[in-house]
Amino acid sequence: MKRILLQGSTGSIGLSSLSVIAEQREHFRIVGLSAGHREDELLEQASRIHPCSLAILRPRNVDVFRSRAAELGAKRVYVGELAFQQQTEDEQYDVLLNAVMGSAGVRPTISALSRGINVALANKETLVAAGEIVMKCARDNGATVLPIDSEHSALQQCMVGERRDDVRKLWLTTSGGPFWGRSKEELARVTPLDALAHPTWAMGPKITIDSATLFNKGLEVIEACRLFDWHVSKVDVVRQRESVIHSMIEFVDGSFKAQLSVPDMRLPILYALTFPDRLESSLVESRPGSFGALHFDEVNSIDHPCLHMAFQAVADGGTTPAVLSAADEIAVQAFLNEEIGFLSIAEVIAETLSSVPRLPATDLDTVMQADAHARRAAREAIVGTSKKVTC
């Protein structure tokens, strides 16, 4: 039985993971849970699952949280900004399932990999900001990074049994988000409520906004380069509007291999937890007759500035992807807070990239310093954008 440390258990990926593990309780056991700030949800989960440890970054009251956690049987409780990292360093587990949002997921991933423990990874920022360091850590310690993103899970499944030399290109698919084909004038009027209405996937607010700008697909391009050790020239994006084909591999002879299913994150979660094996599951049923027609559209990254900047960032390398990711995190939150408009998300990212110098990503401290620098620069850019709007 695999012991699972689930970090980010109260978010959308965390909840889907709990569903998968509950169905496969003969194969998996949760030994630890964690959350950023959703204290009540985390404690409710603990009351049902009874993990050995709990971790939270920002509880309302530290003493009250510790007391309630102890009443629920948690033997160890971690609180504060280092809570996730301390939990990954101290606990005994076989797989870290990292569903944490933002840069808070980077250090826990490295802590687990440093112990030779596999990481099932849904945290994009880990591979975007520190991908070179993370993948080297995995190799050096005999651990594996198992992707939970549906696109990278699909690529991993398609690569099974294939030779790298036979691959011409990795194709990531996108639904195009809710605003595909809209004019710049129409996009200027988009509200947070509009952008949160994704046509296919049920996701958290940050990922949903990133999907609307296609920034999310840009992050996935960077992740694909890191996970599968490909140059960015070997990765491309195509629109598959039904979100049935999750990614494809194009071979040198012109043939394609794809992974298809109804859009449900529980499938890639289950595959990551069982790789290289598969477990029988009744959680998701995909009937080919229900797929209907499948449509593809070309994606020109020039028309989507957030996607274009991601392609450029991974080509530039160093700390540039970390700056890109941090700037987007700040810009998206500002948009959700109605401080800036939808089109200003890309403007804030571009201004941040131009103002923060690129450095070699030699160590994690350098990457995290670049992340912090980018956040400051992005906030300054937001203030400048807000002043322009006011004027």
Q: What torsion, rounded to 10 degrees, do the Cα atoms 237, 242, 247, 251 define?
A: -80
Per the prediction, the chain carries an average pLDDT of: 93
CA dist., res. 122 & res. 112, Å (int)? 14
Q: Residue 250 and residue 173: Cα distance in Å, rounded? A: 13
Q: What is the secondary structure of 84-143 as a DSSP string?
A: HHHHHHHS--SEEEE---GGGGHHHHHHHHHTT-EEEE--HHHHHHHHHHHHHHHHHHT-
User: Per the structure block, which two tokens stand in for 122?
Assistant: 């849904």
Name the pairing type of β-strands 76-79 and 95-98: unpaired
Task: List the end-to-end C-alpha distance of the chain, in Å, as a whole number.
Answer: 62
CATH assignment, 2-147: 3.40.50.720
Task: Note the CATH number of domain 152-263+284-390.
Answer: 1.10.1740.10
- Contact residues for 185 (Cβ-Cβ < 8 A; gap 6+): none
Quick one: 250 exposed, middle or buried, by C-beta within 10 A (0-12, 13-18, 19+)? middle
pLDDT of residue 254: 97
Nearest to 273 by CA among 18, 9, 11: 18
Question: What is the model's pLDDT at position 22?
Answer: 96
Which DSSP string corresponds to 52-67?
Answer: SEEEESS-S-HHHHHH
CA-CA distance, 127 to 113, in Å (whole number)?
13
**Contact (Cβ atoms closer than 8 angstroms) between residue 122 and residue 13:** yes
Angle at 381 between CA 376 and CA 383, to 5 degrees: 100
Task: For 191-216, write each residue's pLDDT tens digit.
Answer: 998 888 766 666 678 888 998 999 99
Q: How far apart are CA 53 and CA 75, in angstroms?
A: 6
Find all residues with CB under 8 Å of 382, minimum gap 6, and list them: 330, 331, 334, 339, 340, 344, 348
Look at residue 387 in the predicted model and tell me its pLDDT: 54
Q: What is the pLDDT at residue 198?
A: 67
At 35 the pLDDT is 96
How many alpha carbons lie under 13 Å from residue 15 in its C-beta half-sphere? Answer: 10
Distance, in Å, from the CA atom of 365 to the CA atom of 372, rounded to the nearest integer, reads 10
Per-residue pLDDT of the chain (391 residues; tens, 9 = 90+): 999 999 999 999 999 999 999 999 999 999 999 999 999 999 999 999 999 999 999 999 999 999 999 999 999 999 999 999 999 999 999 999 999 987 789 999 999 999 999 999 998 888 999 999 999 999 999 999 999 999 999 999 999 999 999 999 999 999 988 888 888 899 999 999 888 876 666 667 888 899 899 999 999 999 999 999 999 999 999 999 999 999 999 999 999 999 999 999 999 999 999 999 999 999 998 888 888 899 999 998 888 999 999 999 999 999 999 999 999 999 999 999 999 999 999 999 999 999 999 999 999 999 999 999 999 999 999 997 755 554 4
Residue 391, pLDDT score: 43
Token representation of residue 100: 């944490």
374, 327 contact by CB (below 8 A) = yes
- pLDDT confidence of residue 386: 59
Domain ranges in the chain? 2-147, 152-263+284-390
CA angle 17–20–25, rounded 5-degree value = 120
Closest CA to 316 of 324, 304, 305, 326: 324
- The answer to whether 95 and 2 have CB atoms below 8 angstroms apart is yes
* Packing angle, helices 106-114 and 124-141, rounded to 10: 10
